[in-house]
Amino acid sequence: MNCKSIRNAIATSLALTVLAASGPLFAETLRIGGTGVALGGMQVLGRAFEQENPSVTVEVLPSLGSSGGVKAIVAGAIDLAVSSRDLKEAEKAQGAQARLYATTPLAIVTSADTQTDGITTQQLAGMYAGTIQNWPSGERVRVVLRPVTETDVQILRSLSEDMARAVDTALE
C-alpha cells in the first residue's frame, strides 16, 4: 500500500469516526483539540480529509492537553478530542467516549556527529541525571526537556525506575 492510499484510508476512517460521533448534523468546520503529542498527525489527517471533503475545513487547535480536550468535547466546544490517556470514569459519566486511533512511539534523536549507533535505557537515564555529559565523540549531551505534563515525559518515566528518577532530577 503506498502513502497516498494509506493517507486516504486514514482520512476516510477519520471522517467516519467524526460523522458517527457528531450525530446527524455535520459542521462546515471540524474543530480538533487535545494532547499536543497527537496534533501533528491530526494536521496531516485534516489536510487529507479536506482534500476528500472540500466543503469541510479542519481546524486543529493548539494543544489543550488530554484533559482539556476531553473537557472541550464534553462541553461541545470542539468536534473531536485527541487524548493520550484512557478516559476517567467521571469523563465517561459525562458522556465522553473513546476510540483507539493510534499509539505514539518514543524516539530519541541525536545528531549524526554523536557517532553512536544506540544507547541503553541506563545510559539515557545517566544523560538525564547528568552523570553522562558527553557523547563518545566528545560532543556535549544536550537533553531537551518537555513540560512535565507532556506525554513524552510520562513515557520516559515509564521506561524504568532509574529513568523516572533521572527525569525528575533533570526537571528540578
Q: Tens of pLDDT along 113-153?
A: 888 888 999 999 999 999 999 998 888 999 988 888 777 88
| 59 and 124 assigned to the same domain | no
What pLDDT, on a 0 to 100 scale, did the predictor assign at position 88? 93
* Predicted pLDDT of residue 47: 92
Give the end of a domain, one of 62, 93, 124. Answer: 93
Query: Which of 46, 62, 93 corresponds to the end of one domain?
Result: 93
For residues 36-56, give the mean pLDDT: 88
- 86 and 143 within one domain: no
Query: Which of 51-55, 120-124, 129-133, 165-169 has the lowest average pLDDT?
Result: 51-55
pTM across the whole model? 0.61
Burial 121-136 (b: 16+ CB within 10 A, else e): eeebbbbbbeebeebe
Range of the domain at 54: 3-93
87 & 13 share domain: yes
Q: 169-172: long-range contacts at Cβ-Cβ below 8 A with a sequence spacing of 24 or more? A: 169/128, 169/129, 169/130, 170/128, 170/129, 170/130, 170/143, 170/145, 171/145
Tally of CB atoms within 10 A around 51: 11
pLDDT bucket at 71, cuts 50 / 70 / 90 = very high
Judgement on whether residues 63 and 118 belong to the same structural domain of the protein: no
pLDDT of the residue at 8: 55
pLDDT at 59 exceeding the cut of 70? yes
Q: Is residue 68 part of a domain?
A: yes
89, 124: one domain: no
Same domain, 79 and 22: yes
Residue 18, domain member (yes or no): yes
Indicate whether 143 belongs to any domain: yes
- CB neighbours of 158 closer than 8 A, spacing ≥ 6? 164
For residues 155-167, average pLDDT: 93
Provide mean pLDDT across the span 56-62. 94
Whether residue 17 lies inside any domain: the answer is yes
Last residue of a domain, one of 40, 60, 93: 93
**In terms of domains, do 129 and 85 share one?**
no
